[in-house]
Amino acid sequence: MPDYKFTVVVERDEDGLYVASVPLLSGCHTQGETYEETLANIKDAIRLHIEARRDLGEPIPIEVAIDEVRVVA
Protein backbone atom coordinates (compact mmCIF):
# COMPACT_ATOMS: atom_id res chain seq x y z
CA MET A 1 0.00 0.00 0.00
CA PRO A 2 1.44 3.41 -0.96
CA ASP A 3 2.52 5.88 1.70
CA TYR A 4 0.88 9.30 1.30
CA LYS A 5 1.71 12.60 2.97
CA PHE A 6 -0.82 15.45 3.13
CA THR A 7 -0.89 18.87 4.71
CA VAL A 8 -3.47 19.04 7.50
CA VAL A 9 -4.83 22.35 8.81
CA VAL A 10 -6.02 22.28 12.43
CA GLU A 11 -8.04 25.11 13.95
CA ARG A 12 -10.12 25.59 17.10
CA ASP A 13 -13.73 26.62 16.76
CA GLU A 14 -15.72 28.92 19.04
CA ASP A 15 -16.78 25.94 21.19
CA GLY A 16 -13.17 24.86 21.78
CA LEU A 17 -13.30 21.83 19.48
CA TYR A 18 -10.39 21.13 17.18
CA VAL A 19 -11.32 21.04 13.49
CA ALA A 20 -8.99 19.49 10.90
CA SER A 21 -9.11 19.61 7.12
CA VAL A 22 -6.96 18.52 4.20
CA PRO A 23 -6.87 21.32 1.60
CA LEU A 24 -5.82 18.96 -1.22
CA LEU A 25 -8.71 16.55 -0.55
CA SER A 26 -11.89 18.54 -0.99
CA GLY A 27 -14.45 17.67 1.67
CA CYS A 28 -11.97 15.77 3.85
CA HIS A 29 -12.40 17.16 7.34
CA THR A 30 -13.19 16.09 10.90
CA GLN A 31 -13.15 17.33 14.48
CA GLY A 32 -12.26 16.22 17.99
CA GLU A 33 -12.15 17.33 21.59
CA THR A 34 -8.34 17.13 21.77
CA TYR A 35 -5.57 17.79 19.26
CA GLU A 36 -4.47 14.15 19.41
CA GLU A 37 -8.01 12.86 18.87
CA THR A 38 -8.42 15.20 15.92
CA LEU A 39 -5.20 13.98 14.28
CA ALA A 40 -6.32 10.36 14.69
CA ASN A 41 -9.72 11.25 13.21
CA ILE A 42 -8.23 13.06 10.20
CA LYS A 43 -6.00 10.06 9.45
CA ASP A 44 -9.13 7.89 9.32
CA ALA A 45 -10.90 10.48 7.15
CA ILE A 46 -7.93 10.56 4.75
CA ARG A 47 -7.90 6.74 4.48
CA LEU A 48 -11.64 6.70 3.72
CA HIS A 49 -11.24 9.51 1.19
CA ILE A 50 -8.46 7.62 -0.61
CA GLU A 51 -10.52 4.39 -0.62
CA ALA A 52 -13.51 6.23 -2.10
CA ARG A 53 -11.34 7.76 -4.84
CA ARG A 54 -9.89 4.35 -5.68
CA ASP A 55 -13.37 2.79 -5.83
CA LEU A 56 -14.43 5.52 -8.26
CA GLY A 57 -11.26 5.13 -10.33
CA GLU A 58 -10.14 8.67 -9.50
CA PRO A 59 -6.46 9.57 -9.07
CA ILE A 60 -5.03 10.36 -5.64
CA PRO A 61 -3.72 13.96 -5.69
CA ILE A 62 -0.09 14.49 -4.75
CA GLU A 63 1.15 17.70 -3.17
CA VAL A 64 3.78 19.45 -5.23
CA ALA A 65 4.96 21.98 -2.67
CA ILE A 66 4.11 23.22 0.79
CA ASP A 67 4.99 26.75 1.73
CA GLU A 68 4.05 29.33 4.32
CA VAL A 69 3.30 32.89 3.32
CA ARG A 70 3.40 35.84 5.71
CA VAL A 71 1.28 38.88 4.91
CA VAL A 72 1.27 42.17 6.80
CA ALA A 73 -2.15 43.78 6.63
Range of the structural domain that residue 16 is part of: 9-55
Looking at residue 47, what is its pLDDT?
A: 97
pTM of the model: 0.87
On whether residue 64 sits in a domain, the answer given is no
Domains contained in the chain, number: 1
On whether residue 32 sits in a domain, the answer given is yes
Q: Indicate the SS3 state at residue 52.
A: helix
Q: What is the CATH number of the domain that holds 48?
A: 3.30.160.250
Tell me the pLDDT tens digit for each residue of 41-66. 999 999 999 999 999 999 999 998 88
Angle ∠(51,55,56) on CA atoms, nearest 5: 120
9-12 and 18-21 beta bridge pairing? antiparallel
Tell me the pLDDT tens digit for each residue of 15-44. 999 999 999 999 999 999 999 999 999 999
Contacts with 49 (C-beta within 8 Å, 6 or more apart), sequence order: 22, 25, 27, 28
